[in-house]
Chain A
Amino acid sequence: AQSVTQLGSHVSVSEGALVLLRCNYSSSVPPYLFWYVQYPNQGLQLLLKYTSAATLVKGINGFEAEFKKSETSFHLTKPSAHMSDAAEYFCAVSGTGGYNKLIFGAGTRLAVHP
């Protein structure tokens, strides 16, 4: 069975500091991996996706993620945090068994302080 673990339910950084949100996955087949962002009382927006074309994936809003098969990780980073980055972030893996279900992590809430 596939699963996703996001380490740290809350992460706090200062404006301008590095953002690192951790995601580890478990999958018996080569995975497709995704990061989504959710602002308060809104739906989820796709930040980026890993589809095996390149291990370093660039997304919107200056975010990027690196797929590391040996570590079964897909951590999300941004070199310099902005106040507008404060949101909840979800890592997801595309499931097997038809219908392409997404398996979501529990989410990491990012706070950015001035």
Chain B
Amino acid sequence: DGGITQSPKYLFRKEGQNVTLSCEQNLNHDAMYWYRQDPGQGLRLIYYSQIVNDFQKGDIAEGYSVSREKKESFPLTVTSAQKNPTAFYLCASRSTSGPYGEQYFGPGTRLTVT
């Protein structure tokens, strides 16, 4: 089955530690996205990438970093510089061959930092 996988589902870290969230897709999509979701705030874009070895900052990139070394993979690192990292993180992908822009989402990773 084609889809997007995110691992792990739940992640716990101590304050001051960097943590990397995994996102893999086998949909052959060119574009990939990372969102942060907090209660009552909808989704906020962290980073996005349209092609391998290229990525752009979204609306809330401070304290986060990404890489795009392979088309299938777009890992997100939450660094110790992120002041409030506890949130639900969603990865998405989109085919650039279609004009409409719909994105397909993974199941999410819930990160708790204490």
User: Interface on A for B, CB 8 Å cutoff?
Assistant: 9, 32, 34, 36, 41-46, 49, 51, 90, 94-95, 99-102, 104-107
Contact = CB atoms under 8 A, between A and B. Distances in A.
A51 B100 CA distance: 7
Contacts of A41: 88, 108, 110
Interface stretch (B12-20, B41-49, B68-76, B78-86): B41-49
Contacts, number: 59
Interface residues of B, number: 29
B42 A43 contact: no
Interface of B: 4, 6, 31, 33, 40-43, 45, 48, 50, 56, 58, 88, 90, 92, 94, 96, 99-108, 110
Given A43-B106, A43-B107, A101 B90 contact: no
A42 B106 CA distance: 8
A95 B58 CA distance: 13
19 contacts: A32-B100, A34-B101, A41-B88, A42-B107, A43-B4, A43-B6, A46-B102, A46-B104, A49-B100, A49-B102, A94-B100, A99-B50, A100-B31, A100-B96, A101-B33, A101-B58, A102-B101, A104-B43, A106-B41
